Structure 1
Amino acid sequence: MKNMKNSLRIAALVLLGWAFFAVANADQNTVRQAMAKSMPSVKIDSIKPSVINGLYEVTVGTNIIYVSDNGKYILQGHLIDVEARRDLTEEMLGAARIQAIEKIGQDNMIVFKPKTSKYKVFVFTDIDCGYCQKLHSEIDRYLAEGITIQYLFFPRAGKGSDSYNKAVSVWCSKDRNAALTSAKKGNVPPPKTCDNPVDEHMQLGAEFDVKGTPMIVTEKGNIYPGYLPAQQLSEALASEKAQK
């Protein structure tokens, strides 16, 4: 008799689980269909329930929006766990940023590595940007702190500008690291063309809403806009690494 009751309880839990799954899927489909109708050009990467009942978290590239389960309402902004003092949206955005960067791959970046790497950052840079030049002039200090610098190009003047052409020429140089260092000192690189990732870097920067350069992105996808001295950046990265 006892075994029969246990079996009935298990069966009930299974049925409840399937019912919840079916409802959740139905709501997700409603959200997807509503967005496809109202914003047909938007490519949805994922839809999942948020921590708030009736509200779904929708990932579009490196952006996150919140949609009601009937698809009628959209919220844009950051969801904060007040008790835990956590920005839940920023955490999800960080993960999305890293996923997008990983699609480009380290082979499509210009990388300066220390002998022993403790941290890695991605830096959107403009060859003609003053603070970008300052950051790179101190590259040895970053390497001494064990920070690997992985550069992506973001010429703020846009495609076809002098800064853009310099970025392409640097990428197409035989020694990219040396060419970048020379260009950051104000030397104009010999004009060169080849297959290059500069447009892809710029597109990613636009998705990240880069307002200025340098813009530093950490391994967790957190953003530090502007120049940070090596020691200050190292302290920030150590703090980030210590966090759960």
Structure 2
Amino acid sequence: MKSYLSKLICLFFTVTLLSLSFGALSALAFQPEGCSGDCTGCHALTKEEAAKLLHTDKYKAVVKDIKLSAVKGLWEVSVSQDGKIITLYIDFAKQYLVEGRFIPLEEIGKGPELKVVDPASIPLESALLIGDKNAKHKVIVFDDPDCSFCAKLHKEIKRIVKERADIAFYIKLYPLPSHTEAYAKATAIVCAGSVKLLEDAYAGKTLPKPNCETDEIDNNLKLAKELGIGGTPATVLPDGRLLPGYVPADVLIDLIDSPLEPKTESK
């Protein structure tokens, strides 16, 4: 069955209402003639109007929100269907539908901005330590024992601590819900406090059953959610930058050696 968006686009093509080319947009849609700085003084689009224009009743969809787009001359319309939110754009003249994402030209070529968290908010008492506990740079990694990319990153971590005695890694076990056996494995590893068991898990070996009762894993799951971590591996650098996914050793070292400039409070 086609999605609401694909059906909607087909419908708009049929009635010649759809245009994805800005060149085809009418001058009326983008001319601020007679408008003040607030475009809503001259233009308006209600949820009822948007629903009628988008034929939402045919697709059991609901218009949830309407606001001015970052691009002048367009309304940004959020439509909900089957629990999913679809973002569409309607021009001020209400003649064209635009589907897609607007990217500022100044952002092209730039990497995504990394989230920054507070490393001090992450307890390390029960974390697995790889490296010297007195190392200057402490890096925290959220790992899943059944995560192949975690296993790949683990090899890079072992390489880094061999080359750099001033860098240590603290491993927090974070079993993903999609890995049904990971919770028991993570618990067994935490109970034993063993990096070797973690490496056995990465190697596909059978781990012993947990031999203790601990709330460490549940606490890690809660903490990861609070920090906005949804996947593994997730690496927290000493300056708080949060790196999602696998990162090669050389890149990781460069990031550790190039911390963010500390923010100075303005007087």
> 2:232 — aligned with what?
213
Residue 162 of structure 1 pairs with residue 181 of structure 2: yes
Cα separation, partners in 2 of 1:138 and 1:222, compared to 1, 3 Å: closer
- Mapping 1:112-131, distance limit 5 Å: 112-114=130-132, 117-131=135-149
Q: Distance in 2 between matches of 1:141 and 1:210?
A: 25
**Structure 2: which 5+ residue stretches go unaligned?**
1-113, 263-267
TM (norm. structure 1) is: 0.54
Q: CA deviation at 1:179?
A: 1.2
Which secondary structure state, in structure 1, belongs to the residue aligned with residue 258 of structure 2? helix
Q: CA deviation at 1:116?
A: 7.4
Residue 171 of structure 1 pairs with residue 190 of structure 2: yes
Q: CA deviation at 1:151?
A: 0.6
Residue 199 of structure 1 pairs with residue 190 of structure 2: no
| Percent identity (aligned) | 29
Q: CA deviation at 1:115?
A: 8.7
Q: Is this contact kept in 2: 1:166–1:188, CA < 8 A?
A: no
Structure 1 residue runs of 4+, over 3 Å off?
none
| 1:107-157 residue CA offsets vs partner (Å, 9 max, x unmatched) | 211111149734211101011111101111333212023421101111112
Residue 126 of structure 1 aligns with an amino acid whose one-letter code is D
Q: Is this contact kept in 1: 2:143–2:171, CA < 8 A?
A: yes
> 1:185 — aligned with what?
203
Q: Distance in 2 between matches of 1:138 and 1:115?
A: 18
Q: Is this contact kept in 2: 1:117–1:148, CA < 8 A?
A: yes
> 1:13 — aligned with what?
none
Q: Distance in 2 between matches of 1:209 and 1:116?
A: 28
- Mapping 1:1-244, distance limit 5 Å: 94=117, 97-101=118-122, 104=123, 106-114=124-132, 117-143=135-161, 144-146=163-165, 147-157=167-177, 161-173=180-192, 176-196=194-214, 197-240=216-259, 243-244=261-262
> How much is the aligned-residue C-alpha RMSD, in angstroms?
2.4
Q: Is this contact kept in 2: 1:215–1:225, CA < 8 A?
A: yes
Which secondary structure state, in structure 2, belongs to the residue aligned with residue 211 of structure 1? coil
Q: CA deviation at 1:212?
A: 1.4
Q: Is this contact kept in 2: 1:145–1:230, CA < 8 A?
A: no
Q: Distance in 1 between matches of 2:189 and 2:230?
A: 23
TM (norm. structure 2) is: 0.50
Structure of greater Rg: 2
Q: CA deviation at 1:186?
A: 1.3
> 1:36 — aligned with what?
none
Residue 153 of structure 1 aligns with an amino acid whose one-letter code is L
Aligned residues: 146
Q: Distance in 2 between matches of 1:211 and 1:229?
A: 20
Q: Distance in 2 between matches of 1:118 and 1:231?
A: 18
Cα separation, partners in 2 of 1:118 and 1:230, compared to 1, 3 Å: farther
Q: Distance in 2 between matches of 1:137 and 1:182?
A: 13
Q: Distance in 2 between matches of 1:138 and 1:98?
A: 21
> 2:78 — aligned with what?
none
